[in-house]
Amino acid sequence: MSLEHLPRLPQRLVEMLLQNFGAPEWLVLIAGFLVAASTVVGVFAGGFALLSLVERKTLARAQNRIGPNRAGWFGILQPVADGIKMLTKEDIVPAKAEKILHLLAPIMIVVPAILALGVIPYGREWIPVPLELGLLFFFAVGAMTEVSIFMAGWASGSKFPMLGAMRAISQMVSYELPLMICALGVVMVSGTLSLPDIVDRQGGFHLGFIPAWNLFTPWGLVAGLLFYVCSIAEANRCPFDLPEGESEIVAGHMTEYSGFKYALFFMGEYLGLFAISGLGITLFLGGWQAPLPGLDFVPTWIWFFAKLCTVIFSFLWIRATFPRVRIDQLMRFAWLCMIPMALLTLPAAAIWHFAGRGLLSWVVTVPLLLIPWVIITVIYNKRLAPTLRTYRFAE
């Protein structure tokens, strides 16, 4: 037993315990799976609590404030205080709400996030569910989030939630497309849909020190950046947080929720954020692979979580910086910029795969991606530049 196996320790312990008591084989198996699942849920629920504090602290620092610092040492107990507050609040169900859907929506938003977290390989030895079709499962489950958001908006029986839900649907459907296309390039090159295998294919180093991650290829760089932007939109994070849009539509689909149901929405959102960043790390940043040679003594899951923290911090940084985009800007960006570029990564990935990853594929794929990018740049400068509005009737 080394540190590498630490995250599997609870599962092994329970299995050994049950075997000692002479439990049947199926019971040992099920109990082991349950414990493995609760390890993942526990880690990410703790991560959610921590992130809610770290996010507030980071945002505060970006605005030269201090942030929460009253509850406990450096505000470390703030998540606990928030949780107690949320739990003790009144749970209000509007009279016009569809009661069952209204109750189901917050649950339905947490479940897919947890399911999606289950297939991600966190370490060489820590793969909660090593599915053969892990990527497909991830996207299939991830699509449920849209349903539950629309459920929340519809069931609330009021206008702001409905508006928020409609925004959410149009946004998430638009951005799911380039997200999946970007992931498709990785699948083409790796030749597998299994997430552990995709990570394995990214092992090793070019020239002895450049990790062989998908990000460090021409198509992988483009696909990775597109994936990053799409994952912000998929997670409904700022600057794509139109579904919530608190300054315009109160809280979008969460307007009519209160108490712990409201907290569940946040939990679902943050767990979804963990899941989508985890997937991005798995696909483009080499999953649990170490970033430099000679660092194999560090447990692999530590590398995964280090990468996760970095990606999450970049999300926070972006939230602290950018204002929310308008819905027409959002849609135009998705359909006129993201999807064409994402589609171009597919032939680039194909060339990369079949032309042998040598000089030839560099020579072909770099112009293939660069020229359209330049064209989009020209269009951006010529046609999509912000316009000066003159108001005829307001002087």
Partner 1 sequence: MDSPSSTIERLPAPKRPGGWSIPGWGLLQGLAVTGRNMVESYYKKERMTTIQYPEERAPISPNFRNFPFLVFDTDPAADLRCTACSICEKECPPQCIYIVLDRDENGKSLKRPRVFDIDLSVCMNCGICAEVCPFDSIYMDGEYELSTDDRFGGLLFGLDRLAKSAEYHMKLRPEQATEVMARRKAEEEKKAAAAAAKLAKAKADAEAKAKAAAEVKPEEKGEEV
Q: Which x/- pattern, by CB under 8 A, does the window 362-381 give for partner 1?
A: --------------xxx-xx
Instruction: Please tell me whether residue 336 binds partner 1 under the rule CB under 8 A.
Output: no
Binding residue for partner 1 (CB under 8 A) from 1, 385, 394, 395? 385
Residue choice 58, 148, 289, 345 for contact with partner 1 (CB under 8 A): 58
CB of 387 to partner 1, least distance (A): 5
Side-chain half-sphere CA neighbours of 211 within 13 A: 21
Contact flag: residue 247 with partner 1 (CB under 8 A): no
Tell me 240's DSSP state.
S
Counting residues that bind partner 1 (by CB under 8 A) gives 26
H/E element holding 129?
none
For residue 388, state whether it binds partner 1 (rule: CB under 8 A). Answer: yes
Taken in order 299, 227, 363, 355, the sign of the CA dihedral is positive
Position 310 contacts partner 1 (CB under 8 A): no
> Rounded CA gap, 324 and 241, in Å?
7
386 is a site residue for partner 1 (CB under 8 A): yes
Distance CA 166, CA 245 (A): 12
Q: Which of 34, 61, 99, 326 binds partner 1 (CB under 8 A)?
A: 61
Instruction: Report the residue number, 57 or 261, with the smaller CB distance to partner 1.
Output: 57
Nearer to partner 1, 19 or 314 (CB): 314
6 versus 62: smaller Cβ distance to partner 1: 62
Choose which of 29, 66, 133, 371 interacts with partner 1 (CB under 8 A).
Answer: 66
Q: What is the DSSP string of 325-350?
A: PPHHHHHHHIIIIIHHHHHHHHHHHH
Structure tokens at 124: 């060489």
Identify residue 12 by its one-letter amino acid code. R
Q: Report the alpha-carbon distance of residue 121 to residue 197 in Å, rounded.
A: 9
Closest CB 142 distance from partner 1, rounded Å = 26
Residue with Cβ nearer partner 1 (58 or 300): 58
Q: Please state, as a whole number, how many other Cβ atoms lie within 10 Å of the Cβ of residue 358.
A: 9
54 binds partner 1 (CB under 8 A): no
Q: Given the complex with partner 1, which of 19 and 377 has the nearer CB atom?
A: 377
Among 23, 45, 49, 62, binds partner 1 (CB under 8 A): 62
The two beta strands, 205-206 and 210-211, are: antiparallel
Task: Tell me how far, at minimum, the Cβ of 250 lies from partner 1, in Å.
Answer: 26
**Amino acid occupying residue 286:** G
CB of residue 7 vs partner 1: minimum separation in angstroms? Answer: 31
At CA 15, angle to CA 9 and CA 16, rounded to 5? 90
Please enumerate, as own/partner, the contacts of 42-47 that have beta carbons within 8 Å and a separation of 24 or more: 43/7, 44/114, 44/117, 44/271, 44/274, 45/267, 45/271, 47/270, 47/274
The dihedral through the CA atoms of 88, 94, 100, 101 has a sign that is negative
- Please report, as residue ranges, which positions from 102 to 121 form the binding site for partner 1 (by CB under 8 A): none
Pick the closer one to partner 1 by CB: 327 or 355.
327
Closest CA to 8 of 122, 141, 102: 122
- Please state the closest distance from residue 391 (CB atom) to partner 1, in A: 8
- Report 313-332 residues binding partner 1 (CB under 8 A): 317-318, 320-322
Q: How far is the CB of 323 from partner 1 (least distance, A)?
A: 9
Nearer CB in complex with partner 1: 65/99: 65
CB 6 to partner 1: min, Å:
32
* Calpha distance 264→257 (Å, rounded): 10
63 binds partner 1 (CB under 8 A): yes
- Residues 128 and 118 sit within 8 Å (Cβ to Cβ): yes
CA–CA separation, 251 vs 330, rounded Å?
Answer: 18
CB of 49 to partner 1, least distance (A): 22
State how far the Cα of 27 lies from the Cα of 18, in Å rounded to an integer. 8
Residues in the chain: 395
Q: Which residues bind partner 1 (CB under 8 A)?
A: 58, 61-66, 317-318, 320-322, 376-378, 380-382, 385-392
